[in-house]
Structure 1
């Protein structure tokens, strides 16, 4: 999707002891929350162009490069975990060194997640 690619190692499903399928282990809502917590996303400016660092608020002026970023999606109740590996554009803050995804790629980040978790 656009600027972001993703691979999900598996799509686990919850099955009862009798073998009945109870649906996906990781819900899309839970996955979105965990991806947002695992991947730092830059802050957009209101009036000027460019992004600011989510951590220290510095201007993000370094070039964007491709980065592989993993996010582990979990369901503590069912003791399940799955790893989602993203290939995303990222930039490093010149002041604090924090890697972060530019705001222009955020929609693609979640579109890839939704597509990988979609029931087929």
Structure 2
């Protein structure tokens, strides 16, 4: 289960970094709520937090497309992949302290190119 949780979060973060348009205010608030819930109740991932995240992802077509591409790639990785080992603290840090200003800047800089 832990590897699957990491795959979901990593696929989400990679998809988020690929967005051409920034998250809207409602999505940002939902993501903040998800991060807080993950921090407060990390064991509720499967029953509560992951479904909240997946619902948010599915509501944004561009994010959903990118997320699905990454999850497909991760399904092809071996379970004990070195790519996924050691990322728990980094993911927790990003989920608990999301820096939306950086996401907005990335989206703006891609549009300028």
TM-score by length of 2: 0.31
Q: Radius of gyration: which is bigger? A: 1
Of Structure 1 and Structure 2, the greater helix share is in 2
Of Structure 1 and Structure 2, the greater strand share is in 1
TM-score by length of 1: 0.30
